[in-house]
Amino acid sequence: MGKELINALKRLLSWLLGISIFLVVFMVGLLIINQNPAMMISEEKEDKPEPLIHSDLVKDGIHVATGLVAKEGYETVIANCTNCHAADLVIQNRGDRAHWESLIKWMQATQGLWDLGKNEEIIVSYLSENYSAEQKGRRANLSGIEWYELKK
């Protein structure tokens, strides 16, 4: 009985020693991360943020999850734009290349938008092509109509 008690105590002490070593290593790891949080951020993530929308379903040329036109560059727009605002904000705006460039510069100056790097050209090209200014004004004259006179 005494030998079994001694063996049980040895197992308990071994277990406690193992837990203690684990806690010391864990605490040292937390201390290192706390002193240098940049080591937990990879540069690849900074260059290309993860999109919040992960569905790739496209139906009738429209990306279903966002409503964006699914043409070249829309994935880049999703990855960079929808992290901060809904795609609807993109869709409801229209403009030429200069408009989209000025909007990006405004977001960088005032809203904390990061430097888009080479993605800026892709985004501006996509937006100016697919969300360009709509022509508004008087419709064209009707043609090819056979007019008739009203009878009194």
Tokens 């697919």, residue located: 130
Is there a contact between 116 and 125 (Cβ–Cβ < 8 Å)?
no
Q: What is the DSSP string of 15-68?
A: HHHHHHHHHHHHHHHHHHHHH-GGGGS-HHHHHSPPPS-----EETTEETTT--
**Confidence bin at 151 (pLDDT 50/70/90):** confident
Q: What percent of the chain has pLDDT over 90?
A: 62
**Confidence bin at 148 (pLDDT 50/70/90):** confident
- Which of these ranges, 21-30, 55-64, 67-76, has the smallest mean pLDDT? 55-64
pTM of the predicted model as reported, rounded to 2 decimal places: 0.55
pLDDT at 43: 61
Supply the mean pLDDT for the chain.
88
pLDDT of 1 strictly over 80: no
pLDDT of 30 strictly over 70: yes
pLDDT at 2: 86
